[in-house]
Structure 1
């Protein structure tokens, strides 16, 4: 690829990433809203067994997991732009259903509504892959990071929507936040109508004449498996701790407002570093950045175990968010280099189905373990997960050096 052609491709990819980042800011607020109040709303709706309070958050994550492959298939059939618009409308519809469930005080309808919101979220999760489409390979980590940087605004918009609509429909709790989310979904659909996915650059499709490989052949690659393991380990651990954090804060006597602000700081930490994570990956490599993310997750657990003051919760959540950013963006970039453009839809769909299936299970276990064993036990779980991922990264690095030496 010539310098001029590379510049054109980067400009197109940058514009594309900015559109997706804007959509991430508004539609992506569904995640902070669902996570910050989903468990609290479940606690409010349940009269008996409170250990299922986080089930609505699980429903959200389950929707993301179940929608991953259908979302990829739909976008393969109708294109990224129309698929993403459809996903935003699904989010808006699910939010309206959630508000209705709260008015009817129906726990199960509320949980099902969050499944629908999560299904819309499965489209949002593929913004990062769409940002890499057509971008020169060296620009892909930065394009992914730009999109995730939109989450900084989602981190503010989501929790603030919860705070400003609090008590709006008293005595019905939390309904105002979901009406606000429905509006945000419609705004996101309008933004995404400007999306123009650039053609895949020649740098990235030099092997297009080669027939796509079977999915099993792609999945068997050690690089793919390590990337998937670290992505799952990072995201599931983050979801496990984050989902239980609001319950733990309120359970320790802190206010609901403190818990919502804690999640806001957490989500800001998740997406704030995205402005420079791509550059860090380019300079230090994906493996080192993912390993740094894992160490930050361990530091988060250590801070949370040190006490139950506000600063323990908030600093622990900030470190948890930073660890997620480094670990997840690095792992996503690792996976993105293991498949060809012709293989991207099926690979991305499978990747997100496995990833968010594990995240859904983690969020369900969060409430169960919090009620049964407490906040400290939840944080102790982080350490074996981190150790497993670090061991996989070390083995992959050793294998890479050995292959390079033999070559």
Structure 2
């Protein structure tokens, strides 16, 4: 891993700092929403809008980077995010809910550009081993976000005595994003791959019908969707409904984010051994165990264990689906397939995050978990069917090659 190209190290660090905004919003967006929203059911709307921003910017992010290059694209995104953090700080300071929602949307759009970082890392890697090590490094670097985001949220809550709660959190975020922008200057833009002029590869519909694409995009989509549903509801359920402290909620979210990235070393090794299908089912198994624990009680430790398993399951699903997406497209099809994948993935996540507040206040924590277990079982069945279909297609191809 130490021999990875400099660009991979730089982009991993930039991603880690950039994702600090997302982990911070996981903790405080719902808490701010609970204070500023017109109705209690809209408390989770700000974080839902973060995800909507991520989904809506997924296609523009890929297309912009295709036109201006990876480095310029990320530079534009980070500059926008700094402005969004300033806007959010101002909105919180004056108690304007809808202005805060706008800032949350722009921070979400930045996350879409940051998500492109995993594809940038794959492009800078040479061979399967470097690709696996690069993804592992990126996710391990994102452990920084597990500490950074909740720290900014908790420490910045009362940073300025004369201002509203959490204004200081967004001022700290401005500093962190500025640091990411400075780090990005060390990234060297790669030459664009040579492709046949005017060639865009196969029609998109032909690509997305493949079992290889459906397995990758579906696993990432349901992985993100289930995680967003439970994770978005957790701080509000803990603090607003159960009366647990903000520090307890921060501890649970921090443990969750650590669990999202810490298993990356193991996941990377298992991917090298060709165990991607087993990892996908292992991720879904983690989700089912998570639901069982979440059903059993609402003490701090119930939330803690549930969110740790949620993070582990997401890691298995996300790393594996990212690695497998490349099997579904050729180099000239890369940008449109990545854009389509991210739009689908973050679209599901946006719907889940948007639904979290309504489900929580209407049906309680049990209602949220019931939907999560239904989604997990549904995708488990779909994944099994798609895996069998993919193996059948591969077997037919082998027989055709032999004849």
1:357 corresponding residue in structure 2: 347
SS of 1:196 mapped into structure 2: coil
2:10 corresponding residue in structure 1: 19
1:228 corresponding residue in structure 2: 217
SS of 2:157 mapped into structure 1: coil
1:173 aligns with 2:165: yes
Distance 1:71 1:281, change over 3 A: same
The count of aligned residue pairs is: 394
The 8 Å contact of residues 287 and 393 in structure 1, kept in 2 or not, is answered as: no
The 8 Å contact of residues 17 and 144 in structure 1, kept in 2 or not, is answered as: no
Q: Please report how far the alpha carbon of residue 372 of structure 1 lies from its aligned counterpart in structure 2 after TM superposition.
A: 0.2
Distance 1:62 1:45, change over 3 A: same
Q: Please report how far the alpha carbon of residue 368 of structure 1 lies from its aligned counterpart in structure 2 after TM superposition.
A: 0.5
The 8 Å contact of residues 82 and 174 in structure 2, kept in 1 or not, is answered as: yes
More divergent stretch after superposition (190-199 vs 72-81): 190-199
1:237 corresponding residue in structure 2: 226
1:141 aligns with 2:128: no
TM-score by length of 2: 0.93
Q: Distance in 1 between matches of 2:72 and 2:389?
A: 42
Distance 1:38 1:319, change over 3 A: same
1:4 corresponding residue in structure 2: none
Q: Distance in 2 between matches of 1:106 and 1:323?
A: 36
Quick one: which of 312, 316, 339 aligns to 2:306? 316
Q: Distance in 1 between matches of 2:208 and 2:198?
A: 21
Q: Distance in 2 between matches of 1:211 and 1:121?
A: 26
Deviations along 1:32-60, one digit per CA (max 9) or x if unpaired, are 111110011000112x4110011100111
Q: Distance in 1 between matches of 2:285 and 2:152?
A: 32
More divergent stretch after superposition (348-357 vs 95-104): 348-357
1:131 corresponding residue in structure 2: 121
Structure 1, gaps ≥5 residues long: 1-6
Deviation beyond 4 Å, 4+ runs, structure 1: 197-201, 205-211
The 8 Å contact of residues 134 and 200 in structure 1, kept in 2 or not, is answered as: no
More divergent stretch after superposition (119-128 vs 189-198): 189-198
Distance 1:303 1:76, change over 3 A: same
More divergent stretch after superposition (140-149 vs 24-33): 140-149
Q: Distance in 2 between matches of 1:211 and 1:383?
A: 39
Q: Please report how far the alpha carbon of residue 404 of structure 1 lies from its aligned counterpart in structure 2 after TM superposition.
A: 3.7
Q: Please report how far the alpha carbon of residue 402 of structure 1 lies from its aligned counterpart in structure 2 after TM superposition.
A: 2.4
More divergent stretch after superposition (316-325 vs 133-142): 133-142
For 1:131-280, list aligned pairs within 5 A: 131-139=121-129, 140-170=131-161, 171-198=163-190, 212-250=201-239, 251-280=241-270
The 8 Å contact of residues 85 and 188 in structure 1, kept in 2 or not, is answered as: no
SS of 1:108 mapped into structure 2: helix
Q: Distance in 1 between matches of 2:29 and 2:282?
A: 30
Q: Distance in 2 between matches of 1:401 and 1:213?
A: 22
SS of 1:374 mapped into structure 2: helix
The 8 Å contact of residues 69 and 349 in structure 1, kept in 2 or not, is answered as: yes
1:100 aligns with 2:95: no
Structure 2, gaps ≥5 residues long: 399-403
